Amino acid sequence: MKPTWRHWLEYATLRVVVAALAPLGLRRAGGIGAWLGRLGYWPLGIRRGVVTRHINACFPERTERERSALVRASYEHLGRVAVESILMSRLGPESLRDLFEGVDGWDIIERGRARGHGLVLVAGHLGNWELSGAYLAALGVPLAAVAKRQLNPLADAFVNRTRRRLGMAVIYDDEAVRRLPRLLKDGYALGLLADQAGLAAATHVPFFGRPARTPRGPAVFALRFDAPLVYVLAARQPSGKYRLHLEEVPVTNTGDLEADVETTTARFTQVLESWIRRYPGQYLWAHRRWKRQPDDTPPELREP
């Protein structure tokens, strides 16, 4: 796509923001991002009704004050993640490692790579999903991140230059079916976000008790290529640093591909939900996760 004047203006703004915030360091700049996130909550109120309804529906056992605090925390976290993600363009592998206080489950990566089939890494819009892939690449894991094309081609190129410089291969989602099998056979770990289906092949599985349209890709690749399926999460800790959580998702191959894909998709979605319950203020609640549901969904399980 040939850039328009609007694309150039947006890109120039992005570069100005990076130049202004980079000298502050990631922690102070992240604090500014949290402040901007609070503006999104109030007075701008960007999708505040959606976020509030989702959190109320998923945590009915919490008090109204607790749920309100989660709504505000989610806006602050998203602002912080946005700033951290654009400032990754100024980071190197060593500084990336300094952002983390540790890893839980590293043995899962080592066992999976020893099998020689590559790995399928699945994540959601929880914690800092950009940092999780970059950190694994900094730790020496050959990683191919599946990404959507952004509407602004200049911003798209900027983000993907950063990803590649930090050691990740970038595969656009419309190229995934053709290119990912070879990368798996070559021992790569495939990084896929799997809590927003869009136009991708999807199935409906329970998510906080409601049917949610969920991408099938992670389950399909894990089953077809006998690759371990690993849930990945970079979660922000009270220290201000991140902790990388790794959890293997069981994959059962009965020979019935359709049934096995359904079961495996439900399993990694359950894992995602369990981590959201642990870090509820770090999830992207603004996405309408239950927008597309089966026609026979009962009224009480419809989109909040």
The string of DSSP letters for 170-192 reads EEEGGGHHHHHHHHHHTTPEEEE
Compute the half-sphere exposure of residue 109: CA atoms within 13 Å on the CB side of its CA.
21
* Rounded-to-integer distance, Cα 148 and Cα 142, Å: 20
pLDDT for residue 275: 98
Sign of CA dihedral 88, 243, 63, 290: positive
Residue 4's identity, in one-letter code, is T
pLDDT for residue 197: 84
pLDDT for residue 199: 65
DSSP letters for 113-164: HHTTS-EEEEE-SBS-HHHHHHHHHHTT--EEEEEPPPSSHHHHHHHHHHHH
pLDDT in tens, the chain (304 residues): 789 999 999 999 999 999 999 999 888 999 999 999 999 999 999 999 999 999 999 999 999 999 999 999 999 999 999 999 999 999 888 888 899 999 999 999 999 999 888 999 999 999 999 999 999 999 999 999 999 999 999 999 999 999 999 999 999 988 988 999 999 999 999 999 999 887 678 999 999 999 999 999 999 999 999 999 999 999 999 999 999 999 999 998 999 999 999 999 999 999 999 999 999 999 999 999 999 999 999 999 999 9
The helix (run of H) or strand (run of E) holding residue 96 is helix 93-97
* 8 A C-beta contact, residue 30 and residue 241: no
pLDDT for residue 234: 98
* Rounded-to-integer distance, Cα 260 and Cα 251, Å: 8
DSSP letters for 193-256: E-S--TTS-EEEEEETTEEEEEE-HHHHHHHHTT--EEEEEEEE-TTSSEEEEEEEEP----S-
* 8 A C-beta contact, residue 91 and residue 165: no
How far is the first Cα of the chain from the last one, in angstroms, to the nearest whole number?
37
* 8 A C-beta contact, residue 146 and residue 191: yes
pLDDT for residue 93: 82
Nearest 5°: CA angle at 116, between 115 and 121?
85
* 8 A C-beta contact, residue 248 and residue 208: no
* Rounded-to-integer distance, Cα 216 and Cα 194, Å: 8
* Rounded-to-integer distance, Cα 63 and Cα 167, Å: 44
3-state DSSP assignment of residue 47: coil
Residue 143's identity, in one-letter code, is L
